[in-house]
A = this chain, B = another copy of it.
Amino acid sequence: MSDLKSLQDCPARYILALNDTVNVITGKWKLPIIAALFFGKKRYSEIEKEIPNINPRMLSKELRDLEANGIVTRQVYNTVPVTIEYLLTSSGQSFKTVMDVMLEWGLEHRKNVLEGDKV
User: Which residues of A line the B interface, CB within 8 A?
Assistant: 1, 3-4, 7-8, 11, 14-15, 17-22, 24-26, 31-32, 35-36, 38-39, 50, 69-70, 73, 89-91, 94-95, 97-110, 112-113, 117-119
Would A20 and B91 count as touching, CB distance under 8 A? no
Contact A70-B102, Cβ < 8 Å, known A31-B15, A35-B15, A91-B109: no
Residues on the B chain within 8 Å of A112, using CB: 70, 89-91
Could you say which of B1, B19, B107, B109 contacts A104, with CB atoms under 8 Å apart? B1
Q: Given A31-B18, A109-B70 in contact, is the A91-B103 Cβ separation under 8 Å?
A: no
Are B103 and A101 in touch, CB under 8 angstroms? no
CB distance from A76 to the nearest CB of B (A): 13
Which residue from B11, B97, B109 sits with its C-beta under 8 Å from A36?
B11
Per the bound structure, the CA–CA distance linking A99 and B11 in Å amounts to 12
> Which applies to chain A's interface (DSSP): helix, strand, loop or mixed?
helix
Beta-carbon contact of B18 and A102 below 8 Å: yes
Q: Within the complex, what minimum Cβ distance (angstroms) separates A66 from chain B? A: 12
Q: How far is the CA of A14 from the CA of B112 in the complex (A)?
A: 19
